[in-house]
Structures are given as C-alpha cells and as structure tokens.
Chains A and B, each alone.
Chain A
Amino acid sequence: MLLTGAEIVIRCLQEEKVEFVFGYPGGSVLYIYDELFKQDKFKHVLVRHEQAAVHAADAYSRSSNKIGVCLVTSGPGVTNAVTGIATAYMDSIPLVVITGQVPTAYIGQDAFQEADTVGITRPCVKHNFLVKNVKDLAETMKKAFYLAQTGRPGPVLVDIPKDITTHKCEFAYPKSISMRSYNPVVKGHAGQIKKAMQLLLDAKRPMVYTGGGVILSNAAESLTKLVRTLGFPITNTLMGLGAYPATDKQFLGMLGMHGTVEANMAMQHCDVLLAIGARFDDRVIGNPEHFNEESRKIIHIDIDPSSISKRVKVDVPIVGNVADVLDDLQKQLATAQSHSDPKALAAWWQKIAEWRGKNCLKYKESNDVIMPQFVVEKLFEVTGGDAFVASDVGQHQMWAAQYYKFDKPRRWINSGGLGTMGFGLPAAMGICFANPGATVACVTGEASIQMCIQELSTCKQYRLPIKIINLNNRYLGMVRQWQEMFHGNRYAESYIDALPDFVKLAEAYGHVGMQITKPQDVGPALHKAFTEHKNDLVFLDFITDQTANVFPMVAAGKGLSQMILAEDL
C-alpha cells in the first residue's frame, strides 16, 4: 500500500514505540499533524514555545533512558528549537528532532518561514538529514533513531520539506541499519583494562572521577559495585551526580568550580585517577596546567575517543561503552593476584578526612532571612531524597547540586554543558511525562524561570504537579557573585527590578502560588506543597538572602586546589 510521507513519519514513530512527541504545529508540518491527529498510538504534547519542546523531550530522555522526540515547523520553529538542541548536544542526550521545511522547489528562494535548518543546526547535532525523496524517508528516520542512541548519544535532526509529506511510496521500516562510516566501539580493549586494573591495585592515593557518561550508559550499579570493591574515594561531576550514592561514605561530593574541598584536593593530589565517562572540562579541573603540576597516572574510560587526551594527557585510554568496560574491570578484579595496599589506602583516607573536616559546605544560618542552601536542604528532607530535581542555571543550580544528595541516577536533570537558563521548567515537564506519579521539583531562580515561564500554561493543560522552588534573590545571582568577586562590586545589569508577583502569576495560570519570606516557614510550606497540594503545580516563591554566594569556588583559570572558601571572606 502506498503511504504519504506524513503517514510514513507517523508509522516510523510508532515502530520506534515512541510514547510522546513534544511539539508545536505550523505550516510546513500540517500534513504530519493531520496524520498525528488520526492515530492514538502515541500522544502529542503541545508546548508554548519550541525551545520548551526540545527541553521537555531532552529531560524525558535524561530521566528515563527512553529517547525524546520533538516535532517543530520550519523557519522560526527551528530557530526557536536551536537552544534546546544545543543543550542536548552539549550533554550528549539522545533526541530525534523532526522539523518541517518549505517545499523542495522553494528551498533557497527565501520562502516564507524558510531557514537553512541543516546548516543552522549542523554544529549542534550529532548528525542531521534533509529528506529529498519520500523513498528515503523511512530509512532516514531509522538512521536518526539509531544514531541518536548508539555510541556517544546526541540529538539527530530530520528536516522534511512539505511536499515530501504528501508524496507517496511503499512503506517498509528497516529492521536494522548498518552504516559503513559509523561503527561505535562497545567493548574495551582487554589488554588496556588489565593495565588499568594493575595501576588501580598499585595505587597509594587512588581517586575515581565520573561524569555524565556513567548515567548515559546506565552503569551506575556497576560503578557502585566496583568502587565499593576497591574501597576508593569517588567524586561525580555536575552531570554525573547520582551515579554513585551521594549519602555513601566513600562519596566526596561534587568536584570542580563549586566542588567540595575533599573532592578537589583528592583529585589534585591522587597518584592514580580513574576517569569514567567524563571529559576534564574547564569547570571540572580548572586550569589544566595547574592540574598537571602534580604527577599522577590517569586511566580514562570513554566511548568517544576524541574525549580522551583532549584537555589532559592520559596514560591508559580505554575506548568503549562505560557499562561494558566496568563489568570487564570487575571480572578481572575478581581474579586478580595482587591487592591494594591497605596501609597506604588508610593513610589516604586519613588525609581525606582532614579535608572533609573543613566542612566546606557550611553556611551562615539565619533566623531572619531565608538562606537558599537551607531551602535545598529542607527540600531534600521533605522529599526524602527521592525526588526528580530539574534545575535552571546559576547559583540555585549549584546549591541544588551541593545540598540535595542524589542517591540514584537520572534524578538530577540540569543543563551542565551549555548552561541554558530556561531549561528547568520544561525539563520538569519532560520528567513528569517519563515518570508518571513521580515527585518532581524544579529548583530555579526568579531570572531563569522567566526564560520559559510561558510553560506554566502547558503544565496546566496536562495537569503536571511540578513543585517550582524559586530561590528569589532579586539578582542574577551567579552574575552578581562574579561581579562582587572579580568586578569591584559593580553590579552591571544583574539586578532585576520590576519582578512579577509570582503568586498571582501562578494563580493566573491556574496553579497554586505561595510566597515564603521567613526561615521558619520554609519547611512547613514545602511540606504543604508536597502533601496537601501533591497533585497541583505549586509555585513556591522563596524570598532569599541577596548576598549569599556559592562556595567553595575555584575562580576561572585557577587550579583545583586554589579554592576560595566561605570562611576566607
């Protein structure tokens, strides 16, 4: 039977067992929407801005390991989506983005709502396609799903001109795909794994450092088992939180620009470093030259060879899927002849205990004004540490990462690489769709939340019971912090005047709004939101201390051990 291109798109999504498509209709995708309307195998989620469609699909994927799918129209639909696509790309999140395009004959004619989609998105996708013939459509869709989810994952875009959605051809969905130019490695090299194991066993001051790759490869369990067997200290990057239980005693907290003293010092002073699914980026190791001043052997496991020895030279590279390599490492460890030196390890833990003794996350408590850190601590308490937490970008993001102890993977959903303000609320929506019934909080600030505030309307439409934790300090907090520390207290454009009444705003959208101004009301308000208003979206506007800063801090260009602590100021 002959199907139209639009029907084929729908059939492909059904074949891929897609549950939700996040999107926004427009001229170029009308035929696709028409077919979407006629089926009930998957649901469409109508957002209020294309950026939110991509963020929601992205968080749907992050919080569930299912692939996110979005559908937007040509021109402005695509350009609005670009921020979302770049966000997913920087954090290696598997997505399929379907975009409408003007009819083939109009391409290049500066047609209405035309944009060079493939050109604009090329630098921020894993791959993209322009479908020029309906006969290629099914195979292209299959390739998109395959590419997005294999190897180092990432967003893949399929651009479909409007005329292609009306052309007809036979539909056959390929069972599998093989591409001569794309053969991602899965298994790690056995010899390299053996070398790594020997280095680990010989280490006097070992350290394990893991990133988003562990989460993406669903290797949290393998990692936890391995690290417990070894008895080594471990740190997670911002993207890797939840890969190892944060409440475990071997966990040193997050590392990096706002990492703990114990994590950063152990990272700097270890003699063997096991890096897994992480990429030594600037926010994590600070200045690479300073990092290299201490000599250490580095083992690096990553699925992407280009992540290895990019910023820091490594001694034992292992290219492969993190989960597979960790399992192989565990097996080799079980049959190993030698063992770690318990004396050296005990001395190392002793040293770490000294660093821990600094209690670097301690902050000045107050009875008069709400400390933002306190809100996150209370959130952790009230939710029993078991919530999905989406965040926006800035100080609140760092406090959420520092004070909410994530024990499970895929619970902490944030834009780590691109640092996209506006990510939080649509991300929380995506989490709700992937995890119905789950407790979902969005930790945000009064600046970030306003970058996608329109999604309160989407939340109403789909009855999403998100709890928005707005840490409202009337400043672009992180910008203000840098201006205070590095720009002589000149707060250029970082003060937000004329804020809306968030309580009324939430109510206007049909939600529950609360404003909390006193520290003693924080706990009760959260409790009320998560119990009495369990099924409502609650906007909790916490009026917080305006001067609170995120510490510890490694200033840009400085080394990991050159932290500024709260007590230094």
Chain B
Amino acid sequence: MMKRNRKANRIRSASAKLVVAALAIALLAGCSGKPKSDDSSGKPFPKLQLLYNISESHKLIAETLQQMWKKELGIQVDLANVEWKTYLKSLQSLDYQIARAGWIGDYPDPNTFLDMFVTDGGNNQTGWSNAEYDRLIKAAAMEGDADERMKMFHDAEEILMKEMPIMPIYFYVNKNLVKDFVKGMHFNMRDLHILKYVYLEKNGKVLPPQEQVFHFNLSAEPETLDPGLMTGSVEFTISTQIFEGLVQYDPDTLEPIPGMAESWEVNDDHTEFVFHLRRNAKWTNGDPVTAGDFVYSWKRVLEPETTAEYAYQLYYIKNAKKYYDKEISDFSQVGVKAVDDFTLKVTLDSPTHFWLDLLAFHTLMPVNKKCVEKFKDKWTRPENIVTNGPFKLTEWKPKSKLVMTKNPGYYDAANVRLTKLVAYSVEDNITAISMFEAGQSYWVNTIPLPYSEKYMNDPQAKKTDFLAVYYYRFNTTKEPLNDPRVRRALNLAINKDELVKFVTKSGEKTATTFVPYMHMRGYEPPKGEDYNPEEARRLLREAGYAVKTGK
C-alpha cells in the first residue's frame, strides 16, 4: 500500500466533509429518505488497479480518485506506482487497467489530440477501436475546408467522449516564476519562451548591455543540440534561441510570423507553399541562409541513417514518407525545391492546415551543411557549431550550464537586448526554486507542489493555460472496463471541480472533454458530462453490477 501523506489526508478529510455536507443537503431537500446504497442485486464490482508513474502530484490525484470512487460507487481501487520506463512499457503492452496520462499538443489543432486514438495508433494504448471515429479523423486530414474539418473533429470527439476509452481530468496550467526586473517574458499555451524579446530593467531603467545577462534553469541536461534529432521541450528551449526556422512564433499567440522567410504564398487548399527568404539572414560563419539550406536540412531529417525520431513531422511533404522508406531514392521527387537561393517551394501530400505551425518546430529548423559535414558527430560542440538564431552557443558544460551570447550577425540584432543567456541544467526542482529565491536564476519553469501555496498569489508566479490535458486511460480490452457504461460511470463519479480546487490548486480548468478547445481556432467541443454520481450509479447497475455506497 501507499505511504499516506499528511497533505493527502487533509484533502481527503476536506473532500469528505464536502460530500457529507452535500448528502445532508440532499436529505433535507426531501430526496428519498434512505440513501440508495443497499441495492445489492447484480454481481459485485471487481477490484481495479490504477497505474501511475512515480511523482508526488500524480500520487495525490490518484489517491483522490481512489477515495471518490469508493465513496460514490463503492469501488475498490488499488494504486500501483512504477518508474517511467516501466510505466511506458505497461501502457504499450496494455498491461494495466486504469493509468494516468498526459498529452501535450504539438500545434493548436484538434488533430494533434484526436489522431492518437485511431485504431492501432501507436499512442492509442487503450485497445479502443471505432470505425466511424477512424473514418472521421481520416476524412478531416483530407478536408480542405476549415469549417467542415472542425465539424468532423467535433463529431469524432463526441464519439470519444461517449465511448470514453479515456477520461479527461483537467487542462494543464503552466506555472512559471519570474523575477520582477525581467521584462518582455511572454507566456503562451505551449510554454515556449523566445528570449530575444526579454530584457532586464531595474528602477524603471533598462540595464546597460553588459548587465543584460539572463540566468535561468533548464530543468535537465539537453539530450542533444542537433535540432533534427531533438525530441523534448528542454532541447526546444535551447534551439529556439540559437536557431530560427522559416517562420517563428508570435510570442503571445504562437501564430506563425516571418522568420527566415520574409513572406509566403499558400494555394487555396493548403497543399502548395512558396516561401521568400530574407536576403539579410546569415549563419554565424557569415554565409547567407539560403533555400538550399532548408532542402539540405529536411533531406537530412528524412534520411533514415540520420535516425531523427521526429522525422514523421515531415511526412506531410509530398513523397517524404516514401523517401524515408526508401521506396524512392531520388530526393528531387520529394516536394521541397529551392527555386533559387531565396525561394523555397513546398508541395504537400494533402491539405495541411497546421503546416505553418510546424515550420517553427525544431525538426524543421535549418542546420549548416558545411558544419555538419565537417564535424559530423561533434558539430554541436560550442567550438564547432554554426547557427542562425538571435543567440549563439559559446559554452556547454554538460550537466552544469550552457552559455549563449547575442549573435551580432542576426538580422534583427538591433532589437535583441539581452547580451548573454546562462542556462543551468539543474534537475532537482526544489534546488531550482532555491536558486530562484537566492537570486541566482531569474526564471524557473515549474513550481513544485510544496511551493504552490507559497506562490499562490505571488506576482512573480505567472500562470497560463497550457496546450495539454491530464487524463486517465482505460484498458478497454479487459473486464470490467470493456463496457463503456462502466467507463462513463467512473468518469461521472469524479468531482473534478473539487480535485482542482483542493489537490492541484493552480487554477487548472476542469476537463469534461479531451481537446483543450480554448486554444483551437474555430473549434467547438462536444458537450461533456459533468459530475453526476446518481447517473454513475445508474449506469453501473445497468451494466449489471451491485452498487454499494454510503459507508
């Protein structure tokens, strides 16, 4: 069994009080004099097991759910925690009953959330399959009309919520801590920080250039600095400062704005893009950034030997997957062409509405051919690396820090005010907060649970809705969770408002549906089901189980 934690007990007693109060009110209001708890017709509900990966907050949430299910439905749930890789393995081999999960969108479009649940999708991991759902997701991918497309996603999500192979809990909130003298930090739905907009100001005065040094914590050692090979957000935080793609993100809205490309044209059905590169963009070795650099970089990612894990981000390009699979060997058949040094033409397989959003992603950032070919595996070392972003890498002490200095050759250098970035790779988040409190770093990208009350109303704490959802997966292949009524009952028995208020405590929005709709252009989510224990019990009975509650 789990070790009980004082905080959890406090929450439990708080929620117990609330439930008791609610019950009392219900009784006073003259509902049935006797709680509907003695219904013992039907088979007993088997004990369930809930799996989560080791973390204090996952544990608290799991314990809360365990209590709620026991209280409302009389269901016993055991908690099992395992380390990360074991957890991933259990999910992939469907060796679990209920498991916590989280999903961060790659771009603000329902597709990045919904396409994972198609039959046999690698990220499905629930065993769930629905032909109509598959059809809708596939049709949406081919649809040129934006409204029609969103309608299809709406219908698909409606099916998902009715069948409930997954149970959304809440939409994540980003919690950043930033010193008050740091100006120009933007907080957006992907927790993406573009530091070229940042500057330091004390007593109403912008500090002189030599004092514009920004210290912050990265929270881990980057796995690689090769944008083509990157997979994580830590790496992305670095690549965003030292590289720049065809487009870059608007720091607030994350709409694509001109980057290496000054302007572009799109055909009507979003399959053909022509980019006009700016003439004053330079690599740190002095060479101009050309259309050929993008062709080279994307070809490199699509070469299987490069082993880019995110190569599939380029599959939208015509024939790109065929090239990866070696069905074609001539790269000129792939839909990327340098018309001249400053014009790049991209042809896609099918209409892709979020293609521009993807262009600022690390996988599609350009790398310098001369540098990569000359230094091979060692090209990302500070002494070798050639980049094209607002900052350049000058020092990389593994597991300690990365130092980046302003790139004077950057086309917009006049508007970059920070002269130096020092990124620490401290993993322990308590140490990271201590560094912040001691004034050694000016920005931390997470507030650990023990500190959440301390910084609840602190002006240094910045909270923004994240393009991500916290949810639970059900293994739909095994009894009793193969019955959608049981899955829906489990969902209805959870008081998510209470969970967010007393457990996570960071102003998260509860989720009755899966897609973080507030970030989606033109997307209308289906109506989700709210907390309704009465209906939950009814569904369980309908599924043939005896419901015993009210202990």
A binds B: no
Chain A residues in contact with chain B, CB under 8 A?
none
Chain B residues in contact with chain A, CB under 8 A?
none
